[in-house]
């Protein structure tokens, strides 16, 4: 069964699950192993990386257009929710968080950002928690920035403001001992 290939134009922003937001900079035709292939050439500015994806494989690798406004609103609502603190071992949680980030699903990425956010008055994060938080936050901010045509730091500040507001609400009920 041949899957209908997704179609992206040069200049389109796309989301590649493992790398985040990139831009289609070119459509190429190349002969590889005796077969003619049409490729999307994606540029990821933040990583200074170029990726070639066969057009017929774009859907199966999870490449997609930027999220809809509705999906982005849902992700922002997720950030406002109460963080879920899991009591499992950090190594297992870290694997779950990485899987959510690499899924490319905006709501899942927002969950990771929400759950790992630490307000200034909260205990310090471990190095690996901070790394995963920053990766997820950056992934979310790049998609928000591309959708709202703002720069990534401005998008990140928007996300952090939502998180700080939510943290202030949920930390009120915690009285210091």
Tens-digit pLDDT profile for residues 8-45:
999 999 999 888 899 999 999 998 888 899 999 999 98
Among 2-6, 123-127, 132-136, which stretch is predicted with the lowest mean pLDDT? 2-6
Instruction: Count how many Cα atoms sit within 13 Å of the Cα of residue 151 in the half-sphere of its side chain.
Output: 2
Cβ(39)–Cβ(54) below 8 Å:
yes
The CATH number of 10-63 is which of 2.60.40.10, 2.60.260.20, 2.60.40.1190, 2.40.10.170?
Answer: 2.40.10.170
Report the predicted TM-score, pTM, of the whole model to 2 decimal places.
Answer: 0.83
DSSP code of 41?
E
Q: What is the pLDDT confidence band of residue 174, given thresholds at 50, 70 and 90?
A: low
Using DSSP bridges, classify how beta strands 20-32 and 35-44 pair: parallel, antiparallel or unpaired: antiparallel
Rounded distance, CA 94 to CA 151, Å? 28
pLDDT (0 to 100) of residue 6: 64
Give the tokens for residue 152. Answer: 């990534």
pLDDT (0 to 100) of residue 1: 34
| Mean local confidence (pLDDT), 140-169 | 93
Rounded distance, CA 80 to CA 97, Å? 18
| Mean local confidence (pLDDT), 164-173 | 81
Rounded distance, CA 158 to CA 141, Å? 9
| 169 or 39, greater pLDDT | 39
pLDDT (0 to 100) of residue 132: 95
Query: Measuring CA to CA, which residue among 79, 64, 55 is closest to residue 146?
Result: 64
| DSSP character string of 84-145 | P---S-HHHHHHHHHHHHHH--HHHHHHHHHHH---TTSPPPPHHHHHHHHHHHHHHHHHHH
Q: Domain segments of the chain: what residues?
A: 10-63, 67-171
Cα-only R_g, the chain: 19
Tens-digit pLDDT profile for residues 59-106:
888 899 999 999 999 999 999 999 988 888 999 999 999 999 998 899
- Residue 39 φ then ψ, to 5°: -125, 145
The correct answer on CATH 1.20.58.1290 for the domain covering 67-171 is yes
């Amino acid at each position: 069964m041949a899957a209908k290939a997704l179609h992206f134009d040069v200049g389109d922003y796309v989301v590649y699950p493992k790398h985040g937001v990139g831009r289609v900079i070119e459509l190429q035709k190349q002969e590889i192993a005796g077969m003619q292939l049409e490729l999307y050439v994606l540029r990821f500015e933040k990583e200074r990386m170029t990726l070639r994806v066969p057009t017929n494989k774009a859907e199966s690798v999870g490449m997609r257009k930027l999220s809809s406004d509705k999906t982005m609103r849902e992700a922002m609502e997720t950030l406002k929710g109460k963080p879920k603190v899991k009591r499992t071992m950090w190594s297992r949680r870290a694997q779950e968080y990485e899987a959510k980030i690499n899924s490319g699903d905006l709501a899942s990425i927002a969950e990771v950002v929400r759950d790992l956010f630490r307000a200034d008055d909260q205990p310090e994060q471990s190095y690996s928690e901070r790394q995963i938080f920053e990766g997820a936050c950056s992934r979310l901010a790049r998609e928000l920035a591309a959708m709202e045509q703002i720069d990534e730091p401005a998008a990140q500040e928007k996300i952090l403001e939502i998180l700080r507001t939510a943290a202030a609400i949920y930390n009120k009920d915690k009285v210091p001992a």
